[in-house]
Structure 1
């Protein structure tokens, strides 16, 4: 059994956790933290502590206090991956939380945005809140968009201010009801931030019905290759690094 001081991944689910009682060594050793439950208290992180955290996931229904973020983010110089979920109103975070996350703006390499069933339709557009957040992350190399339509993908990618290396998308149910979906995916590749794209992953979302047919997959793959982009599914291999 791994020592508690070497716990690498932690998901906080539907329960209440008092962060002030957790060991600072345990927190510093975490590589991945996903919050899906209620937190109270502020973690005791001594000055000068360096956390090994590389991946952080936030749910708008269970946002930790700003004091919690103010404690862990400055101590996380290796944090390069952030996962967020869009609220029912189409926005992600309040201004206070967005400001707090500015601490890690220049070190983020990967951003994942999940739209969610309650706010996702094939024609949903990205809110100004979402596009502003994305445009301020100037060091991003990888972007993941889950459960959205082509219009949403285009809005977010158009907001990027730096060239992407990897794009991963999971399409919403009914994404191609109008029959123009593949052409709209092709239009995304014409955006300035896609000029240096190396790989586009199309995740299998068959459980929700948002999958490409065989013909649509063929057309999408042909468009990708015509732009010098490698089309892939969600599977990953050790040879994918660093352009995952």
Structure 2
């Protein structure tokens, strides 16, 4: 009897593979995606497909945008996929291939393909995948699969996804063609877009806070530097004692009474 991996097993594997700390604002994103991928992977009806892979890659890239240090994102992504015992290169390659196909098909051709309305040699591989999904009564639908479909639509025509009425009609058509729940499909994408917008707003606020904090530090540093006492270059013995008969023959310049000078 095979033991099913637990969420703890996956998290342990991830943090073994990626050992650098993750910025707090992004840690929740990474762990939620990790748990979602884990739960999908251990489901008996789940099977990998390129559209799902595109959903994973899209979510990671969109929600990790602006991560610093940027070089760590590759390590984090690789650890996420390897933690569920799959290959990150396969996810990346399949995603790139689908995005290229979506651009080549154009949005009308892509929609016809996704809705199972039209067939062509150009999309034979994708068509075979979609047909296997639509005829599989046990197909494991997931939010990441829905996001993969949405990403394909964005690639073919970015303006399409901005038109709410047209997008709703397209999603209904695709859901019908693939035999998936239209209601769940639409709600999952609505939540995804809402969360993405919130994340973008959070990053803008964080950038403003960091910028303001940086300016304050610079101002304090400049103020501190300008308030230090200045010593005259003439801090030497007076070469002509007769010019300063009341002194002890040493001339110094007193600190300025104005610390801002």
Q: Point out the structure with the larger strand share.
A: 1
**Higher relative contact order, chain-length normalized (CA < 8 Å, sep 6+):** 2
Give TM-score, length-normalised by structure 1.
0.28
